[in-house]
A = this chain, B = another copy of it.
Amino acid sequence: MAEYHGLSQIFTTTETSLYNNLFKSPNPPFHSPTALILEISPNPFPQTNHSTTTNFVPIIKNNYNFDNLEILDHQLETYRSKFNDVYVAGHVLVYPSYNGFFEKPGLFLDQMFVRKCYRGMKFGKLLFSVVAMQAEKMGMGMVDWLVADWNEETINFYEKMGAHYIPEYRLCKLYGDQLQAFGRKSD
């Protein structure tokens, strides 16, 4: 993903940092950075009762046909989950956000990713609507995210879903040596 966005030079994520930032928080889901995993399987998922300690109930859809999973996905083994015959097809990464102009807080959508062999199956739309529904469910007022200006197809996809494209804002980012320099300042 960092390569795709031409941002390899800023990529510093490690397996440990991902684990610490996403899966070790004492906060319930969506109250700190949270990853939702899109899993697929050739077998139907059971509609079991899920833990009530979290404020997110897994969304199960058995209306896809994955009989030919091995032909479709040549990297199945790499993406095998801890459950039998369950594989990771994508993910979404969100965290709580706030905007001083809005009455209610929101969710910031930092990453949405569907693996190449699973594209064109409306999984992107599914992930996006899960985030929007979750925000709505939590009484939040917005979902924000950034899109690259050259990615017209994706911008159209977002606008079709009812998102407002706000072209005037640009991202500024202070990091690395420049950020550390501030930490050393005394005046």
Contacts and interface: CB of A to CB of B under 8 A. Distances in A.
Contacts of A111: 100
Given A144-B172, A171-B146, A182 B136 contact: yes
A173 B164 contact: yes
Contacts of A136: 179-180, 182-183
Which among A33, A145, A168 has the greatest number of chain B C-beta atoms within 10 A?
A168
A165 B170 CA distance: 7
A127 interface: no
Contacts of A146: 169-172
A88 interface: no
B166 A173 contact: yes
A64 interface: no
A174 B161 contact: yes
A135 interface: yes
Contacts of A185: 129, 133
Interface string A95-111: 11111111111101011
Interface of A: 1-2, 7, 10-14, 17-18, 21, 32-33, 93, 95-106, 108, 110-111, 129, 132-133, 135-137, 141-150, 155, 158, 161-175, 177-183, 185
9 contacts: A10-B102, A100-B110, A129-B182, A136-B182, A144-B173, A147-B169, A162-B177, A163-B173, A163-B174
8 pairs of A and B residues whose beta carbons are closest in the complex? A136-B183, A162-B178, A132-B182, A33-B98, A12-B103, A142-B175, A146-B169, A17-B103
Given A148-B169, A149-B167, 5 more contacts: A1-B101, A12-B102, A136-B179, A147-B172, A167-B170
